[in-house]
Amino acid sequence: MSAGSVEFARMINPWTKYLFILAAMMTFVCANDNLQSTPNVDTEAKAVKFLAREVPAWSKDNGCFSCHNNGDAARALYAATRKGYGLPDSALADTTAWAERPDRWDQNKGDPGFSDKRLASIQFASSLLAAFDAGRVKDRRSIEQAARKLAANQDADGAWRIDQGNTLGSPATYGAHLATWMALRTLKKAKLPETKEAIQRADRWLDQASPNNVLTAAALLLASADGADQSSQPKREKCLDLIRKAQTSDGGWGPYADSPPEVFDTALALLALAGLRQEPGVDDLIRRGRIFLAAEQNSDGSWPATTRPSGGDSYAQRLSTTGWATLALLATRE
Residue-wise DSSP of 257-315: TTSPPBHHHHHHHHHHHGGGTTSTTHHHHHHHHHHHHHHH--TTS--PPP-SSTT---H
**Per-residue confidence (pLDDT) for residue 229, from 0 to 100:** 54
Q: What totals of helices (H) and strands (E) does the chain contain, helices first?
A: 14, 0
Residue 11, pLDDT > 90, answer: no
Angle between helices 41-62 and 74-82 (to 10 degrees): 130
Residues of CATH 1.50.10.20 domain(s) within the chain? 41-331
What's this model's pTM, rounded to 2 decimal places?
Answer: 0.86
pLDDT band, very low/low/confident/very high, at 115 (cuts 50, 70, 90): low
Residue 239 near residue 229 (C-beta atoms within 8 A): no
**Cα distance between residue 130 and residue 316, in whole Å:** 20
Mean pLDDT of 230-239: 81
CA distances from 21 to 15, 17, 236 (A): 10, 6, 51
Pick the CATH number of 41-331 from 1.50.10.20, 3.40.50.2300, 2.20.130.10, 3.30.300.30: 1.50.10.20
CA atoms of 224 and 232, how far apart (whole Å) = 9
Question: For 47-79, what is each residue's pLDDT tens digit?
Answer: 999 999 999 999 999 999 999 999 999 999 999
pLDDT in tens, 280-306: 999 999 999 999 999 999 999 999 999
- What does the pLDDT read at residue 37? 38
